[in-house]
Amino acid sequence: MKRLISILFIVGCVYTTVSCTKEAVIISSPKGPVKNEKVLSAASNESITTTRLVASSPHFGALVSNVSGMDKIAVANKLEVKYVREAVTLKEFTGKNRMVDMYLKNGFKIILNLDYGNSSDGPVPFPTNMVEYRKLLQNVLDKYKPEVAVIENEPTNRHYHSGPIEDYIKMLEVAIDVCKARGIKVADGCIHIKYVDEIMKGKQLDEGGMDVVKLISAYKTLNLDYVNVHTKGEGDSYPAGVIKSVADYLRKRTGKPVMSNEFSIHTDSQDLVRSMVQGWKDGGYVYAIVFSGNSDSQALPFNNGTVLTDIGRAYKDQLNNFDSKKIY
């Protein structure tokens, strides 16, 4: 009898505990009491969705500069990367691109910039004739299927482009349609981390910053695969946490994974290289492509001919430190 009473007492306690727990998760809302189980479930789903946007480690790569042809292949091999960035100018495309063909022949995966015009002679207006633009883009993508198609380079950079940012958003929408029809993943031409950081901090924005606000708003509804960022490193290390906080902000605001098809190094600090590589990894970026530098851009070179410089070796060594090196 005493054993039965003890069992009943324990069962009663368990029931009371469960009941109390259920009561504790009732919260108020404008529509009346809501079970926190649902709130937790929604939060969990949001967390799962966000997690799916975060890469365990980026696909690191290089935009090899200062050399051409097979020397580019040699530098990429010495950096031990399998992802490279190359560009095609739509209005100059004649049916093939020599460097793209060479990279593909040598087993590289290409992050391909698709630029409407050549900005070497000054800013190029965003196209407004979408029938022409669609045809030019189709001509290239009928020939090549890159790992990712990046539409234009730095659309908010007035040295490269002219015209309202709304024209870029329209052309991006057409580009997405063309890419998706061919099963090609697509990213924007980039927004700069500097501007995103200023937006996050509520700072007063210049024209470029205001354009970035418009782009972020548009990217939420456009069917992009990735939101692309650029940045440059200076000093002895990159500001702690900024690369990750920008990634978190953009994923939350747009619902898209993030990548970078260009970051550059502007001091000879190997610690700077290491801090930026770690930042892309901590931030869960899908791709991170370093610009190997040249004198025109003031970015320090990762290669001197086909020989890696100290910062080039630091980049390679930092990639080798990651257990997931096999994905590069």
Asked if residues 238 and 202 have their Cβ atoms less than 8 Å apart, the reply is no
Within its chain, how far is the Cα of 147 from the centroid?
Answer: 13
Cβ atoms within 10 Å, residue 105:
9
Beta pairing class for 34-35 and 26-27:
antiparallel
Residue spans of the domains in the chain: they are 2-46, 57-327
CB 260 within 8 A of CB 288: yes
β-pair partners for 232 = 264
Using DSSP, state whether 209 is helix, strand or coil.
Answer: helix
Q: What is the pLDDT of residue 124?
A: 97
DSSP labels, 222-286: S--SBEEEEEEE-SSSPPTTHHHHHHHHHHHHH---EEEEEEEE-S--HHHHHHHHHHHHHTT-S
CATH code given to domain 57-327? 3.20.20.80
Per-residue pLDDT of the chain (328 residues; tens, 9 = 90+): 444 444 434 434 433 333 333 333 333 333 333 333 433 343 344 444 566 789 888 999 999 999 999 999 999 999 999 999 999 999 999 999 999 999 999 999 999 999 999 998 899 999 999 999 999 999 999 999 999 999 999 999 999 999 999 999 999 999 999 999 999 999 999 999 999 999 999 999 999 999 999 999 999 999 999 999 999 999 999 999 999 999 999 999 999 999 999 999 999 999 999 999 999 999 999 999 999 998 788 899 999 999 999 999 999 999 998 854 444 4
Q: Is 313 exposed, middle or buried (0-12, 13-18, 19+ CB in 10 A)?
A: middle
pLDDT at site 67: 96
pLDDT of residue 52: 76
* Residues 60 and 321 sit within 8 Å (Cβ to Cβ): no
pLDDT at 322: 80
| pTM of the shown model | 0.84
Q: What is the pLDDT of residue 13?
A: 41
Q: Are strands 303-304 and 307-308 parallel, antiparallel or unpaired?
A: antiparallel
Calculate the CA dihedral of residues 271, 276, 281, 282 and round it to 10 degrees.
Answer: 90
- Supply 288's token pair: 């991170």
